[in-house]
């Protein structure tokens, strides 16, 4: 399969090696590739079960534990990245 490397890069790409980029991958894995990272978790189809799944992924991939309520309340990937950074990520 050939990939078009000239395609537009997602907004999170400048931080792709950091927390935000890793969260974007987790976000899309839980919510689907078409889930806009600038919209809130709930707006793109998230619910309490998926919040727990995302929090588990964050712990597994980044090694930081945040409360699933942070995901439900914070919303966007950038907001969740801030919660992760505040928790030590």
Q: How many Cα neighbours within 13 Å face the side chain of 64?
A: 19
Which pLDDT score, from 0 to 100, does residue 7 have?
42
pTM here is: 0.76
The b-or-e profile of 27-56 (16+ CB within 10 A means b, else e) is bbebbeeebebeeebeebebeeebbebbbe
Residue 10 has pLDDT above 80, yes or no: no
Mean pLDDT for 15-21 is 71
Domain borders along the chain are: 32-86
> 62 vs 74, which has greater pLDDT?
62
pLDDT for residue 14 is more than 80: no
Q: What is the pLDDT averaged over residues 20-29? A: 92
């Amino acid at each position: 399969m050939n990939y078009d490397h000239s395609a537009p890069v997602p907004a999170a790409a400048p931080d792709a090696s950091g927390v935000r980029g890793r969260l974007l991958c987790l976000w899309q894995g839980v919510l689907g590739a078409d889930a806009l990272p600038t919209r809130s978790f709930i707006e793109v189809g998230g619910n309490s079960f998926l919040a727990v799944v995302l929090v588990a992924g964050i712990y597994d991939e980044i090694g930081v534990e945040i409360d699933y309520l942070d995901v439900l309340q914070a919303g966007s990937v950038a907001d969740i990245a801030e919660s992760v950074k505040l928790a030590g990520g």
